[in-house]
Structure 1
């Protein structure tokens, strides 16, 4: 079940929840909500404020890393995962292009990560399958 579920849906769903709870009716209020700091981290050079949008992008990067590790397989679950990842990308792209609240830099980066998940997943799976065929053909 874990191998089939595309993890990039998690940051996209988190963004959707934030857009409809914290974000106002337009893009400007959504940008203000995303730029608001979630917490401050004390550093030697001063306080580092971590904005909500950056936190969502960090979550997306972690999910993308796990997705790329999962893509090394060549089984049926991996192929289904790639198809579902492509659907997540199409939905994210449609939201980015058509809905004002989603036209932010943070959501653009999430959409780009879903594209990288889809394309990278297919490439890694093809390379892994080619390696499996090469090893199986020698024996």
Structure 2
């Protein structure tokens, strides 16, 4: 049953936990500041400095999770349909948070929401294509 849970719920949960630790919680307008503050700097061989923020780390982890979700969507088992449905619920949840709460009106959360949408679309498209391939009509 754990395979039915969309893995992109993890970055959404992490973002929610970050917002809950802000002073105004979901109504905090300083969520963008927390997401864009530099955590550390990497010195590149070109002598440039790459400042890495919490939002950057969350987006990088979300992209890895999206890749795993796309691999999961290629299975045509019954549990995949449940996963796609839960991904749709997660997308609606993310969209509501993005539209209604100031702490979620950031580019970081928008991109995580976009990844959830891509997971939903890819899941349904892959399932439809694989189902169409499974149903073949022979020449009689």
- Whether the TM-score (by the shorter chain) exceeds 0.5 is yes
Could you give the per-residue CA deviations for residues 38-70 of structure 1, whole angstroms, max 9, x where no partner exists?
Answer: 222221123211111111111111111111111
Q: 1:57-72 to 2 correspondence within 5 Å?
A: 57-72=59-74
CA distance in 2, matches of 1:118, 1:24: 33
TM norm structure 2: 0.89
Shift of 1:102: 0.4
> Which residues of structure 1 form unaligned runs of 5+?
none
- Superposed CA offset, 1:80-124 (max 9, x none): 000000010000000000011001010011111111111111001
Distance 1:115 1:124 in 2: 14
Residue 114 of structure 1: aligned partner: 116
**Unaligned regions of 5+ residues in structure 2, if any?**
none
How many residues are treated as equivalent by the alignment? 135
CA contact (8 A) 1:24 1:30 kept: no
CA distance in 2, matches of 1:106, 1:68: 20
Q: Structure 2: how far apart are the matches of 1:42 and 1:5?
A: 38
Task: Report SS of the residue matched to 1:91.
Answer: helix
- How far apart, CA to CA, are the structure 1 residues paired with 2:125 and 2:92? 18
> What's the Cα RMSD here?
1.6
For residues 68 and 81 of structure 2, what CA distance do their matches in structure 1 show? 16
**Structure 1 stretches of 4+ moved >2 Å:** 23-26
The TM-score, its normalising length taken from structure 1, stands at 0.89
Equivalent position SS for 2:42: strand
Q: 1:132, CA displacement in angstroms?
A: 2.4
The aligned counterpart of 2:18 is: 18
Residue aligning to 1:43:
44
